[in-house]
Structure 1
């Protein structure tokens, strides 16, 4: 439990450092957007006490967390979000380089995890099934609670019989085909270890 608390604290700190970058200085704050940003940040995993919602860095933080939560943002926020994500990807790559060069392995791994979160659009604690097309949190939960066999890794879903999968997912043939195509693109790696100690 203590590790989860520490990880959460480190994640919050890393996101604050990330969104404090000067790359976010020029994100526009439009008239009337302050209340929307406040509502958005107050419904996220990591909220702020008394956020200054006219600060472009707070807006970037809110948009980043909304992306991880797969929360739809509308209007101008939706136009700003791709820029926030693109900058986050570049900044995280630089952060991994700097952190690694200082030998801080745990922080480097955390920065890599956040980078993966940006790419996948999900929190590190979310079901891996959310990577699949047409999947929602409710559907992922139904798969995890599947009687007889909990479906958590994507490969559990792939290994199911077609009829079982159809019954569980309740999707159209076109949607199931999208999932099959996605699963076929996942590399299947087998670990290979070699004893180098001689």
Structure 2
């Protein structure tokens, strides 16, 4: 899962990005609405976390522009949490409204809730071969037995399985694993794929990952 965090409190943004990362979420962060709009033009996000008081404006006023390419769920995270302010946020298009301070566990529950709504049903469990992937809870099972995978390998696997039998571009896979600020080593993706192949074969998942030279990778059911 990849989300956009629009938050001008640097320490909070860093802490929240790190906490979400433990749940397998790749977070792009910006403190400015203008940059956020540009990021939504360049990337597809599963959800947007939006503060209200930002250096270049009121976050709620940008909801239509942030969402212009689809129905991306937007959760407002703000200290402005009076009933009237919550009503205002929901009326202006937010899918959910969470007052600061909050627990990461509650935010995760709210993310799972908004992602279960149409048109995000594709984010529910993915089946391929003998395995089932749950992207929202960051888990994989093979014949109901848990398969323990490092977070980044699991993100690569979920991106491939969601598009099984189709070629997935390298850039798409990298975007599923790394945020735009991270430096990606040239062979990092290939290393993830190599380890995944071995783990899946050992688990008897009955899927295989094929290299489409110069383009990307494809997951096929055996």
Common fold: TM-score over 0.5: no
Q: Which has the larger radius of gyration?
A: 1
Give 1 or 2: higher helix fraction: 1
Calculate the TM-score normalised by the size of structure 2.
Answer: 0.25
